[in-house]
């Protein structure tokens, strides 16, 4: 709430009485000279001492200059629950921030924590990246995905592959640090050598380097298990396409 201040002549009569309140003080409890009952103006300056303190060394909130105690409560907190510096017993101001500028969630007014991370984006204002000065992100993981104790988000130890959640080398989902189950196959059904349980890899070749459909070294388009073309001996055929049909020049073809 705020009040509009008009010409004093319209608010006070000749005897210094306010026309609305009928007293020497207006709605904000200041007299015709702009001072409250104890002689302090709106900026907290005393009319006699011209300082923040009156003749008895108390400020406008009745805190003593030297002891910090309040004259009425006889404690370091005023009747409003805040001390001489404007902080409550928990160390927070009326705006909800402590002397260091952080709220109860340890965030500043812009949403950054003490390490400089934004609560919503994870962006670090000191490094201008998503990693802090120590190389770790807001959740405590480095660019390789491991925390300071050497564990990744799934609980695997970087060096040993041990999982702290299950106390085994397999995570809660049954897969190890490399993504393989006890039977040696990953979520896509391939083992460490790249073959499925039927013995063929994703390109249709078996361990004997033979193509599933033809039983020969090359697939229908002339590529072998190493993805090299029989005529060019390279990754691309004589028309410039690889085993997946991607052009050597990286161009994109569309129908239309």
Residue 23 has pLDDT above 90, yes or no: yes
The Cα angle at residue 36 between residues 30 and 38, in degrees rounded to 5: 170
**Scanning the structure block, which residue is given the tokens 């400089």?**
116
Mean pLDDT of 95-112: 96
* pLDDT in the model for residue 3: 44
Determine the Cα–Cα distance for residues 99 and 83; give it in Å rounded to an integer.
12
Determine the Cα–Cα distance for residues 247 and 237; give it in Å rounded to an integer.
10
Q: What percent of the chain has pLDDT over 90?
A: 90
Residue 253 has pLDDT above 60, yes or no: no
3-state secondary structure 51-102: CCCCCCCECCCCEECCCCCECCCCCCCCCCCCCCCCCCCCCCCCCCCCCCCC
Residue 6 has pLDDT above 60, yes or no: no
Residue 254 has pLDDT above 90, yes or no: no
**Which residues fall within 8 angstroms of residue 24, CB to CB, at 6 or more apart?**
16, 17, 18, 31, 32
Q: Of 1-10, 69-78, 202-211, where does mean pLDDT reach its minimum? A: 1-10
**Could you tell me the residue ranges of all domains in the chain?**
144-192, 203-256
Mean pLDDT of 59-79: 94
pLDDT confidence tier of residue 7, bands split at 50, 70 and 90: low
Determine the Cα–Cα distance for residues 218 and 200; give it in Å rounded to an integer.
14
Output 161-165 pairs: Cβ under 8 A, ≥24 positions apart. Answer: none
Residue 38 has pLDDT above 60, yes or no: yes
Average pLDDT taken over every residue of the chain: 92
Residue 252 has pLDDT above 80, yes or no: no
Determine the Cα–Cα distance for residues 140 and 132; give it in Å rounded to an integer.
9
State pTM to two decimals.
0.56
Alpha-carbon distances, residue 173 vs 129, 147, 163, 169 (angstroms): 32, 21, 11, 11
User: By C-alpha distance, which of 79, 99, 77, 97 is closest to 88?
Assistant: 77
């Amino acid at each position: 709430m705020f009040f509009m201040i008009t010409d004093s002549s319209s608010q006070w009569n000749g005897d210094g009485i306010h026309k609305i309140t009928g007293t020497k003080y207006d709605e904000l409890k200041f007299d015709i000279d702009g001072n409250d009952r104890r002689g302090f103006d709106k900026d907290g300056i005393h009319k006699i001492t011209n300082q923040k303190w009156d003749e008895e060394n108390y400020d406008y909130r009745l805190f003593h200059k030297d002891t910090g105690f309040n004259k009425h409560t006889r404690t370091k907190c005023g009747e409003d629950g805040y001390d001489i510096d404007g902080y409550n017993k928990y160390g927070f101001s009326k705006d909800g921030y402590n002397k260091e500028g952080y709220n109860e969630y340890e965030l500043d007014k812009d949403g950054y924590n003490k390490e400089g991370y934004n609560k919503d984006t994870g962006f670090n204002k000191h490094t201008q990246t998503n990693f802090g000065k120590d190389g770790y992100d807001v959740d405590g993981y480095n660019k390789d995905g491991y925390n300071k104790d050497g564990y990744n988000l799934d609980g695997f130890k970087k060096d040993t592959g041990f999982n702290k959640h299950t106390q085994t080398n397999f995570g809660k989902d049954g897969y190890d640090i490399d993504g393989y189950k006890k039977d040696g196959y990953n979520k896509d059904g391939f083992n460490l050598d790249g073959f499925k349980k039927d013995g063929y890899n994703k390109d249709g070749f078996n361990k004997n380097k033979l193509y599933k459909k033809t039983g020969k070294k090359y697939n229908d388009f002339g590529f072998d298990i190493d993805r090299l073309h029989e005529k060019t001996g390279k990754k691309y055929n004589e028309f410039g396409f690889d085993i997946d049909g991607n052009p050597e020049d990286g161009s994109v073809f569309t129908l239309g």
